[in-house]
Amino acid sequence: MQHFKTLSAYLDYLELPRPEHPMFSMFTAMGENYLPCPKESSPPITNDCYSISFKKFVKGDLVYGRTKYDFTNGALFFIAPRQVLQWDGSAVFEQKGFSINFHEDFLKGTELAHQIKKYGFFSYTANEALHLSPKEERQIELIIENIDLEYQNNQDSFSKDIIISHLSTLLKYAQRFYERQFINRMELSNDLLDRFNHHLEDYFESGQLQENGIPSIEQIADKLSVSQRYLSDTLKKETGKTTTEHLHLYLIDEAKDLLLNPKKTIAEVAYDLGFEYPPYFSRLFKKKEGISPTAYREKYKMN
């Protein structure tokens, strides 16, 4: 897989203009113009850059992941360094908005270098883009105008600090708008939790638990066609519990039924549930239920 260590090399590959700054590039098209289009297709590639882009797809359909979206109101995308990128030329479209690319070293020595790693949306897959309302779109545009003004000016000792300050503001607004999106998509969140539980039911009933052990959160997210971070953030916002907590709750519910079978030992119950170490199962059960598996069995055993 081809990897690009510099911003210039990455933009050359995309067949886009060279940046004004060796580690920071910006393209805008808010009026009648269109954003420059990258090369039509690419095999999987990686780079050492962050990307933030806001795009309105004026004509043509575009599918991200397994989902087709209506981008009439625009969508904001975030890509972190070393994420695998791939696209093809099957969709013909024109873009308006903006595209910012900067090397991770551009942030070195700044507070944002640490803050940016805390923004979960940089690990979201493309079909989990942030969809902006017209009012939110205008707020983002104002920040972009300030960044672009500084980018186009003659560089001086203040330029980098000012650009990074605006980037920090942009990311804080994005965090706020994602919170709004999670709230507004309550129905989608409920559906995601239902699909999460349904997948676990299928996994248990099909015998995969005994064959493959407890599924990882990454495996579950992949089956649901979302990223691990998005799944966790959505369920946490909706239920107050993480994906790992939901998985543990499901396992404990299954354990309660198995423990009522007097022919099975505690260790056998643990193994049936995919635990490699029965003591870990016992500790988890007691943590969630307040009593040990043995005490639970004694309390609820059949007469």
Please state, in angstroms and rounded to a whole number, the distance separating the CA atoms of residues 36 and 15.
9
Question: In this predicted structure, which of 3-7, 46-50, 123-127 has the lowest mean pLDDT?
Answer: 123-127
Same domain, 48 and 149: yes
Of 184, 215, 241, which marks where a domain is finished? 184
The residue range of the domain holding 201 is 187-300
Could you tell me the pLDDT band of residue 58, with boundaries at 50, 70 and 90? Answer: very low
Q: Is the pLDDT of residue 65 over 50?
A: no
Strands 95-103 and 130-131: unpaired
Residue 303 confidence (pLDDT): 44
For 99-120, what is each residue's pLDDT tens digit? 999 999 999 999 999 999 889 8
Q: Is the pLDDT of residue 249 over 70?
A: yes
Same domain, 206 and 159: no
Same domain, 40 and 140: yes
For 11-56, what is each residue's pLDDT tens digit? 999 889 888 889 999 999 866 667 777 777 788 889 999 999 887 6
What's the number of domains the chain is made of? 2
